[in-house]
């Protein structure tokens, strides 16, 4: 955390910057100058409806994105991204909440700095942001300019994705896929034909299984055969009992004489 000098972070009119490192890889900044942040704001506000349903269900107050307290700005020279949101929670009274975000892009990830306070502290946050950034930088070999495309991981996040909090790079992936598909439509056709052939074989095999003659496989007959075998076994046991040898006469007399 970064605290203001000679200030108490637990009193009104003060704030702290929470500093974290996100090991997400090298974030390309190609989209930085192409983003319509007004359109992004509208989309994020539209997404609130579904998000707030879940928040209320879980016992949390609703959250309304009022607007940009600081419109997103990317310093391409320093590789630093700034933006700030004005947030209103439920029936919150007084000044709305300020979420001020800074991202410092590096070779292997992003340094995240976030300040949460009230909108009243916005001028103070802006006045001290340069001091905060001077305390937040990457060491030699880990800076954005040290990126090596041969060995370093590229993040799926973009500049717009960092601001929106979503992996907007998916749109870029779709664009790549569409480009590939446009060039390789023949492979799609071949794959589709193969898929149809697979379905035909599947249904044909099922049809053959249905046409197998199972008239000889009568469960009742099998049960009767089992009963017959059991009856024959019992009869054999009875026959063996009838032929058990009787005691010899001599043995009986000997017993009588000893009484």
pLDDT confidence of residue 197: 57
CB atoms near residue 124 (< 10 Å)? 16
Dihedrals φ, ψ of 183, to 5°?
-80, -25
Domain boundaries, the chain: 2-167, 170-212
Structure confidence at residue 217 (pLDDT): 44
Q: Note the pLDDT of residue 11.
A: 64
How much is the pLDDT for 111?
Answer: 96
Q: List the beta bridge partners of residue 112.
A: 20, 103
Asked if residue 44 lies in contact with residue 64, where contact means CB atoms within 8 angstroms, the answer is: no
CATH code of 2-167, in short, is: 3.40.1000
pLDDT along the chain (259 residues), means of 10: 67 79 96 95 94 94 96 96 96 91 97 93 91 89 97 96 73 37 38 50 53 46 49 51 47 40
pTM: 0.62
The sign of the torsion formed by the CA atoms of 129, 131, 136, 137 equals: positive
Q: What was the pLDDT predicted at 13?
A: 65
**Predicted local distance difference test score (pLDDT) of residue 2:** 72
Residue 1: predicted pLDDT: 77
Spell out a b/e string for 8-33, using b for 16 or more CB atoms within 10 Å of the CB, else e. Answer: eeeeeeebbbebeebebbbbbbebbe
CA dist list (Å): 136 to 31, 113, 154, 155, 188: 24, 9, 22, 21, 49
pLDDT at 92: 84
CA distance 210 to 207: 5
- 3-state SS assignment for residue 72: strand
């Amino acid at each position: 955390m970064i605290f203001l000098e000679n200030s108490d972070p637990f009193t009104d009119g003060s704030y702290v910057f929470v500093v974290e490192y996100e090991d997400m890889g090298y974030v390309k900044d190609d989209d930085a100058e192409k983003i319509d942040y007004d359109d992004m704001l509208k989309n994020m506000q539209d997404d609130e409806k579904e998000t707030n349903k879940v928040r209320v269900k879980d016992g949390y107050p609703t959250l309304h994105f009022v607007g940009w307290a600081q419109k997103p700005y990317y310093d391409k020279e320093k590789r630093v991204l700034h933006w700030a949101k004005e947030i209103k929670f439920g029936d919150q009274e007084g000044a709305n909440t300020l979420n001020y975000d800074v991202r410092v892009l590096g070779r292997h990830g992003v340094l995240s700095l976030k300040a949460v306070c009230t909108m009243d502290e916005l001028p103070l946050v802006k006045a001290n942001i340069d001091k905060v950034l001077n305390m937040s930088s990457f060491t030699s070999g880990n800076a954005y300019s040290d990126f090596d495309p041969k060995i370093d991981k590229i993040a799926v996040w973009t500049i717009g994705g960092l601001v929106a909090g979503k992996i907007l790079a998916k749109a870029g992936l779709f664009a790549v896929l569409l480009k590939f598909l446009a060039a390789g439509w023949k492979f799609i056709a071949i794959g589709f034909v193969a898929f149809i052939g697979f379905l035909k074989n599947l249904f044909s095999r099922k049809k053959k299984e249905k046409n197998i003659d199972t008239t000889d496989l009568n469960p009742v007959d099998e049960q009767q055969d089992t009963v017959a075998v059991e009856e024959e076994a019992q009869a054999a046991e009875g026959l063996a009992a009838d032929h058990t040898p009787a005691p010899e006469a001599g043995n009986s007399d000997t017993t009588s004489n000893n009484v």
